[in-house]
C-alpha cells in the first residue's frame, strides 16, 4: 500500500490543478501543482511544487490529454516510482442521482454528460479531463467527487422553486455547489472544535466562485447557489441573484438570445461587470476608482443579507467561517461583513483579522478563517474507494 499514490484532478477550461497523495488512512500530501494557460493561443506552463520547491516548465499542450501527458513526463518527480492507484476528479454537478463519490464507468460518464447544460463553465471540462485521465492511467480507479453531493441533505423548501411541481420532478431544483470545500471545512470544525460539531454554522466560501452554506449538525441545510452556479452571491464574473424578469426584458425588448445572455451572466457580470475593471478582488481593493468601491460594497452587502437569512433559517448562529481566496485573505471583506453585526453577537478583533488568524471573533458567535482543502476531500474519497475494493 505504501508505494501507491492518489492523484486528484480539478479541471477548468484552461487549467488543471492537481495534487499527489501517499495512500493511507489519512492521505498525506506529496506534491501539487497545476497546468495553466491550456489553450492553443497561449504558452502553457506546468507548475510543480514538492517539498517547498517550485518548478515551472513551459510545455507543449493545448488540451487536457496534452496536460496529463506533461504531468506523466514528471512521473518520477511527482510519484517517486509509486503506482497511481486511484484518480479523484472534481465534478461540479452530480444532479439528483450522484450523491456520493462514484466510480467513473462509461455509463456514469454518459449520465454526467447530460448535466453539462447545468454547469456549462465547468462540467464539460471536468469530463474531458476524466476521459483523458482514463487514457493516461488505465489501471487506476477513477472516482468522481461531486460539488453538489454535500447539499443533498437539504429540506424540500431549500431545494425547490415555486414552479409547477413537474419542474422539480424533472430536476429543476436548487442543487448548491462548492460541496467539496464545505465538506472539508465541516470536517475541520468537527476535528478542531468538537463543541461546534452539532452547532449552527454559516460557511462563506469566497473565491472567484462564491457561495455560502448553512450547516446544522454537520449537514448542509441551505446554500446560496441554486440550479446552476450562477445564483446567490455576486462572483468574479457571475452575477449572483437576479430577478428573472431582467432576463425576460433582455430577450423580449433587447433582442438578446440565450448565448448572449449566458455570456453576460457568466462572464461579464459580478465584480468585473460592476467595477468595469476586473474580476480580481485584490486588484479592486488596491484601486481608488469609485466603481471598484461599489463592486466591493455590493459583494459585502449580499454576504450580509445571506448571513441574516441563513441565521434565521438555522434559528440562530454559533459560528461564521470564512474560506476561499477572498475569505482566507481579505481582512477588508471580513471586517465589512462583520461590522455592525453585534445584534447577531458577531464582533471581530481587528489585530487578529489582519493576521488572517484562525479565530478572529470576540463575541459569542465564533468567527473563524479556515483555509479550504478540496483536494484532500477527494483524496480521502479515493482512499476509501480503494480500501473498499480490496
Ligand atoms: P477560485 O474560485 O478560482 O478557486 P480563489 O479561491 O483562488 O478562486 O480566490 C480568488 C480570489 O481571491 C481573487 O478575487 C483574488 O483577488 C482573491 N484574493 C487572493 N488573495 C487576496 C488578498 N490577499 N486580498 C484580497 N483578495 C485576495
Q: Is 211 in the pocket of ligand 1 (CB under 6 A)?
A: no
105 CA to middle of ligand 1, Å?
Answer: 35
* pLDDT value of position 1: 44
Q: Is 219 in the pocket of ligand 1 (CB under 6 A)?
A: no
**Rounded CA gap, 306 and 279, in Å?**
21
Active-site positions read 147
Strand order in the sheet with 16-22: 53-59, 44-50, 28-36, 16-22, 4-11, 83-91, 141-146, 102-103
Q: Is 94 in the pocket of ligand 1 (CB under 6 A)?
A: no
200 CA to middle of ligand 1, Å?
Answer: 26
* pLDDT value of position 121: 80
Q: Check: CB of residue 35 under 8 Å from CB of residue 113.
A: no
| 340 conformational bin, left if phi > 0, alpha if psi -120 to 50, beta if neither | left
Within the chain, residue ranges assigned H as helices are 64-73, 75-79, 106-113, 123-136, 156-159, 165-169, 179-192, 244-254, 258-267, 270-275, 281-286, 290-313, 324-329, 331-338, 350-354, 374-388
Which of 182, 208, 303, when mutated, tests ligand 1's pocket best, judged by the most ligand atoms within 8 Å of its CB?
208
Q: Is 326 in the pocket of ligand 1 (CB under 6 A)?
A: yes
279 CA to middle of ligand 1, Å?
Answer: 10
Q: If you write DSSP's letter for every residue of 317-380 in order, what string do you get? A: -SEEEEEHHHHHH-HHHHHHHHTT-GGGT--B-HHHHHTT-SB-B-SSSEEEE----HHHHHHH
328 CA to middle of ligand 1, Å?
Answer: 8
* pLDDT value of position 100: 96
User: For the chain, which domains are there?
Assistant: 5-146 (3.30.420.40), 194-369 (3.30.420.40)
234 CA to middle of ligand 1, Å?
Answer: 14
pTM over 0.85: yes
Give the CA dihedral 305, 310, 311, 312, nearest 10 degrees: 100
Query: Collapsing DSSP states into helix, strand and coil, what is residue 139?
Result: coil
Could you give phi then psi for residue 159, rounded to 5 degrees? -100, -20
Q: Is 307 in the pocket of ligand 1 (CB under 6 A)?
A: no
Q: Between 374-388 and 179-192, two packed helices, what is the crossing angle to 10 degrees?
A: 90
**Rounded CA gap, 279 and 241, in Å?**
17
Q: Is 9 in the pocket of ligand 1 (CB under 6 A)?
A: no
Which of 10, 299, 326, when mutated, tests ligand 1's pocket best, judged by the most ligand atoms within 8 Å of its CB?
326
* pLDDT value of position 2: 52
* pLDDT value of position 176: 95
Q: Is 208 in the pocket of ligand 1 (CB under 6 A)?
A: yes
- CA-nearest residue for atom 7, ligand 1, is 325
**In whole angstroms, how far apart are CA 277 and each of 150, 166, 263?**
34, 42, 17
Q: Is 275 in the pocket of ligand 1 (CB under 6 A)?
A: no
236 CA to middle of ligand 1, Å?
Answer: 9
Q: Give every residue of the chain whose pLDDT is below 50, as ranges.
A: 1
- CA-nearest residue for atom 24, ligand 1, is 330
Amino acid at each position: 500500500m505504501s508505494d501507491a499514490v492518489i492523484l486528484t484532478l480539478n479541471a477548468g477550461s484552461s487549467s488543471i490543478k492537481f495534487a499527489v497523495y501517499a495512500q493511507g488512512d489519512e492521505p498525506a500530501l506529496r506534491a501539487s501543482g497545476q497546468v495553466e494557460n491550456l489553450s492553443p493561443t497561449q504558452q502553457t506552463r506546468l507548475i510543480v511544487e514538492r517539498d517547498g520547491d517550485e518548478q515551472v516548465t513551459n510545455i507543449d499542450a493545448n488540451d487536457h490529454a496534452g496536460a496529463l501527458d506533461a504531468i506523466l513526463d514528471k512521473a518520477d518527480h511527482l510519484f517517486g516510482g509509486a503506482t497511481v492507484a486511484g484518480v479523484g476528479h472534481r465534478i461540479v454537478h452530480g444532479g439528483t442521482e450522484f450523491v456520493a463519490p462514484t466510480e467513473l464507468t462509461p455509463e456514469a460518464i454518459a449520465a454526467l454528460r447530460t448535466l453539462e447544460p447545468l454547469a456549462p463553465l465547468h462540467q464539460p471540462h471536468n469530463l474531458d479531463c476524466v476521459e483523458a485521465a482514463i487514457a493516461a492511467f488505465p489501471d487506476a480507479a477513477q472516482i468522481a467527487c461531486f460539488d453538489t453531493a454535500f447539499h443533498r441533505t437539504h429540506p424540500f423548501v431549500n431545494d425547490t422553486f415555486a414552479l409547477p411541481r413537474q419542474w422539480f420532478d424533472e430536476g429543476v431544483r436548487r442543487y448548491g455547489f462548492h460541496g467539496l470545500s464545505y465538506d472539508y471545512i465541516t470536517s475541520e470544525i468537527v476535528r478542531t472544535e468538537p463543541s461546534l460539531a452539532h452547532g449552527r454554522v454559516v460557511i462563506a466560501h469566497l473565491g472567484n466562485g462564491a457561495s455560502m452554506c448553512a450547516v446544522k449538525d454537520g449537514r448542509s441545510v441551505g446554500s446560496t447557489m441554486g440550479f446552476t452556479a450562477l445564483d446567490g452571491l455576486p462572483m468574479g464574473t457571475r452575477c449572483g441573484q437576479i430577478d428573472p424578469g431582467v432576463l425576460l426584458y433582455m430577450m423580449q425588448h433587447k433582442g438578446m438570445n440565450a448565448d448572449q445572455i449566458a455570456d453576460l451572466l457568466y462572464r461579464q457580470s459580478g465584480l468585473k461587470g460592476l467595477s468595469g475593471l476586473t474580476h480580481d478582488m485584490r486588484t479592486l481593493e488596491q484601486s481608488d476608482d469609485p466603481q471598484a468601491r461599489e463592486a466591493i460594497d455590493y459583494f459585502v452587502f449580499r454576504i450580509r443579507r445571506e448571513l441574516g437569512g441563513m441565521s434565521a433559517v438555522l434559528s440562530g448562529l454559533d459560528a461564521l467561517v470564512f474560506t476561499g481566496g477572498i475569505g482566507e485573505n481579505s481582512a477588508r471583506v471580513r471586517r465589512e461583513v462583520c461590522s455592525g453585526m453585534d445584534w447577531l453577537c458577531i464582533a471581530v478583533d481587528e489585530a487578529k483579522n489582519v493576521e488572517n488568524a484562525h479565530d478572529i471573533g470576540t463575541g459569542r458567535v465564533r468567527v473563524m478563517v479556515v483555509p479550504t482543502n478540496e483536494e484532500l476531500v477527494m483524496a480521502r474519497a479515493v482512499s476509501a474507494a480503494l480500501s473498499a475494493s480490496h
